[in-house]
Homo-oligomer: A and B are copies of this chain.
Amino acid sequence: MSELRWNPLRQEWVIIATHRMNRVLHPPRDYCPLCPTLPGGFETEIPRPYFEVAVFENRYPSLHLVPPEPDVAGTELSPVAPAGGVCEVVVYTPEHEGSLATLSRDRVIQLIHVWQDRYLEISSREGIRYILIFENRGPEVGVTLSHPHGQIYAFPFIPPVPALELASARAHREKTGRCLFCDLLAEELADGRRIIMESAGWVAFVPFAARYSYEVHLYSRRCLAALTELHDGEVEELAAMLQEMVACYDGLFDAPFPYLMILHQAPVQGGDGEERGHLHFKFYSPVRDRNKLKFLAGCEQGAGTFINDAAPEKKAAELRASLEKVRRGQDSHDNR
C-alpha cells in the first residue's frame, strides 16, 4: 500500500508507504547492498564489479514511477491521491568506507554532474513538480546503510518547506522587486560574523535565525534556479566547499558528524511568473554540542517553534576554527 493522504488542517500531503517497514537495517559489511557485485559474491543492488557513481530506483520507494491505486477512498475534505513520483539512490563511490569529504575532488565533480543530469531528466517527466536531492548521514538521523550515498525524491507537488520559502520570496519580490535569498545573503555578508567560508561563486554561513546549533546554508552568489546553470568553475568550487564543509563538521569533535544535506532548486514545470527560488544547500544536524543531541519535542513538534541552545555567531566561530584545523592538516599533508 502506497498513497498520498491530505491533511486539511496542516494543508499537507502525507505519504503512507507500508512496504517500507521491512527494509534492511544496518546489514553486515559483506552484505552492503550499495557495494559493487563481485564475481561469485553477494548480489548487491548494483550488478557489476565496478562503477564510479551509480544511480538506481530505491528498492523501497515512497513515491513510484507507476503508483498503485490508493487503498482507501478519500473524502472531499480529506482526499487521497496516487503516490506518484521518483525515489532514487545515488551511490557516490564503490568504496564502502568514507564520506563526501574523503572522495577525490574529481569524483565529487562527477557527482554534481550526476545531480545535474538527474534533475534535467526527471524534470522532463510528467507530473513532477519538485525534485529534492539530499543526503542523510549517520545513525543519529536514522541512516541504515553507511556506504556513502545520497537520495533523490521527486514529488508530484511542491512540498511544504520549499512552498513556504517560495511564497515568502514571491511576497518579497512583489514588495521590493528583489530576490529574498539574495537580500538575506547580502545581509549575512555585510554582518560577517556567521560566515564559514566564501569563494568566487559560493558562500557558506550559519543563518541568523538557525533552528539548529550547527545549521549551515550554502548559497550560490549568483541568483540561479538550478545546478544546471553553473559554470565549470562554480562546479569545481562547489565540490571543494561541500568536501570542506563535511571535513569541517567531522573536525569539530574528531568524529563522523551526522547531518542532513538538502539541495534546493527551482520547482519544475512551473507556470510563467512562478517563483524560482535561489540555488542553495542546507545542512541540518541534531548535534548541539559534544555528546549532546537536539530532540524535536513538544515545543518543536507541538508548536512548530524551534529552540536553539546556541548563539549562531558562536557556532560559526567553532566551525571556522574547525575548518582552519582541516586546512592546516591538508597543507601539512600536501607538504609532506
Contacts and interface: CB of A to CB of B under 8 A. Distances in A.
Interface of A: 1, 5-18, 20-21, 62, 71-72, 75, 77-78, 130, 132, 134-136, 141-143, 151, 153, 155, 159-165, 168-169, 172, 180-181, 183-184, 187, 207-211, 260-262, 282, 284, 288-289, 292-299, 301-314
Given A7-B209, A18-B309, A303 B160 contact: yes
20 contacts: A5-B209, A6-B209, A7-B209, A8-B172, A9-B168, A10-B164, A12-B304, A14-B306, A15-B308, A16-B209, A16-B308, A16-B312, A21-B288, A21-B289, A62-B299, A77-B183, A141-B297, A153-B298, A153-B299, A260-B297
Given A211-B14, A303-B153, A77 B184 contact: yes
A297 B294 CA distance: 13
Contact of A168 (B10, B284, B293): B10
Contacts of A155: 303, 305
Contacts of A306: 12, 14-15
User: DSSP majority for the A interface?
Assistant: mixed
A303 B180 contact: no
Chain multiplicity (copies): 2
Contacts of A136: 297-298
Nearest to A278: B9
A298 B71 contact: no
B298 A134 contact: yes
A169 B11 CA distance: 11
Question: Shortest 7 CB-CB distances between A and B: which pairs?
Answer: A142-B295, A160-B304, A262-B302, A134-B298, A159-B303, A161-B304, A5-B209
A214 to B, nearest CB: 13
Contacts of A18: 309-311, 314
A187 B16 contact: no
B298 A184 contact: no
A20 B307 contact: yes
A182 to B, nearest CB: 11
Given A16-B311, A298-B135, A298-B136, A305 B159 contact: yes
Nearest to A292: B21
Contacts of A208: 5, 7, 78
Contacts of A180: 8-9, 77
Given A21-B288, A184-B8, A310-B18, A296 B296 contact: yes
A172 B301 CA distance: 24
Given A165-B9, A305-B13, A307-B15, A298 B151 contact: yes
Contact of A184 (B78, B142, B162): B78
A336 B161 CA distance: 55
Interface centre among A10, A15, A209 (most CB of B within 10 A): A209
A78 B8 contact: no
Given A5-B209, A21-B292, 19 more contacts: A1-B311, A9-B180, A10-B165, A14-B211, A14-B306, A15-B305, A15-B308, A17-B309, A21-B289, A78-B184, A132-B303, A155-B303, A159-B304, A160-B303, A160-B304, A161-B301, A161-B304, A260-B301, A296-B296
B305 A12 contact: yes
